[in-house]
Amino acid sequence: SAKNAGKARWRLFSPEMEAARQETASIERGLDQALAKDQFVLHYQPITDLETGRVTSREALLRWYSPERGWTSPDLFIPVAEQTGQIREIGAWVLERACREAAAWPDGARVAVNVSPRQLGGGVLPDLVLSALLRSGLPVDRLELEITETTLLGGDAATLTDLRVLREMGVRIALDDFGVGFSSLAHVRTFPFDRIKIDGSFVRDAVQRPECRAVVGVIAALGRRLGVATVAEGVETAEQLALVREEGCSEVQGYLIGRPAPLSQDGRPDAAADLARPRRGAA
């Protein structure tokens, strides 16, 4: 341990770093037990089509509660799970559960599942997807996988092969958090995505900052040129909603439309997420 490592080491590890290391270790230990102890649950957040006002899909967002730690944010535990490789087992659980739950939705909306880089390569994910679809009875065109730009940064052939196989199976592939990575535009030619999700940071600042608004508009235009949907993430206010609509985004996701929420006891998603549309003619 660091204690035994000699005096020189103490200069390298500040108290903050030591605390962070212990936190990571605590999360890793907790995650080891989480599946066996049934501590995960999926919440779902609606993604709504601006044209029709209807929910087209719901994103599965993983939630973890342990008696030892309480609720831990995915922004904390997902990076640990990715680092340790635990994400493979956890991700397989998410996929299986999301397909099973979505298969029972009365409105037939798609389900979007986040996939980490370490789940790709070697053909494992296509196999898991196939068995999750078969077991759940979910039609393949109701499954969407979200990957971030970092997944493509490694850019290895095995990752791209898995993505191609999945897409040929009929699974939709979305590029998540678009715009924040290095060379975002380059990824558009690396792989034929079915949809692009504009990172919430642009949407959040677009009302105040013309340059952020411009990014939203340019990505929406890119989507139209490519013939793919563009989803504005992180829409929290009516002003932001109006703005992304004007800029030509095709779908929206955010607290304004619906927060991530658990399914009801009988497995139904939150129904209140269709956008209220100005009705012409109707009472």
Binding site for ligand C2E (CB under 6 A): 45, 60-62, 73-75, 78, 87, 91, 94, 114-116, 146, 176-177, 200, 234-236, 253-255, 260
Give the HSE-up count for residue 65: Cα atoms under 13 Å, Cβ half-sphere. 5
Question: In terms of CB distance, is 176 or 247 closer to Mg ion?
Answer: 176
Q: Provide the minimum distance between the beta carbon of 224 and ligand C2E in the complex, in angstroms, as a whole number.
A: 22
Question: In terms of CB distance, is 30 or 200 closer to ligand C2E?
Answer: 200
Name which of Mg ion, ligand C2E, none residue 165 binds, using a CB cut-off of 5 to 8 Å depending on partner kind.
Answer: none
193 touches 177 (CB < 8 A)? no
Query: Could you tell me which of 15, 70, 72, 64 has the C-alpha nearest to residue 38?
Result: 64
d(CA 239, CA 204): 10
CB closest to ligand C2E, residue no:
254
d(CA 248, CA 217): 7
Retrieve residue 134's tokens. 């078969």
Spell out, one character per residue from 171 to 210, where the chain touches Mg ion: x when CB under 5 A holds, - when not. Answer: -----xx---------------------------------
57 touches 47 (CB < 8 A)? yes
Query: What is the separation of C-alpha 190 from the centre of its chain, rounded to a whole number of angstroms?
Result: 20
Query: What is the separation of C-alpha 229 from the centre of its chain, rounded to a whole number of angstroms?
Result: 16
Name which of Mg ion, ligand C2E, none residue 61 binds, using a CB cut-off of 5 to 8 Å depending on partner kind.
Answer: ligand C2E
Q: Provide the minimum distance between the beta carbon of 93 and ligand C2E in the complex, in angstroms, as a whole number.
A: 9
d(CA 255, CA 175): 20
149 binds Mg ion per the rule CB under 5 A: no
Name which of ligand C2E, Mg ion, none residue 13 binds, using a CB cut-off of 5 to 8 Å depending on partner kind.
Answer: none
Question: In terms of CB distance, is 26 or 61 closer to Mg ion?
Answer: 61
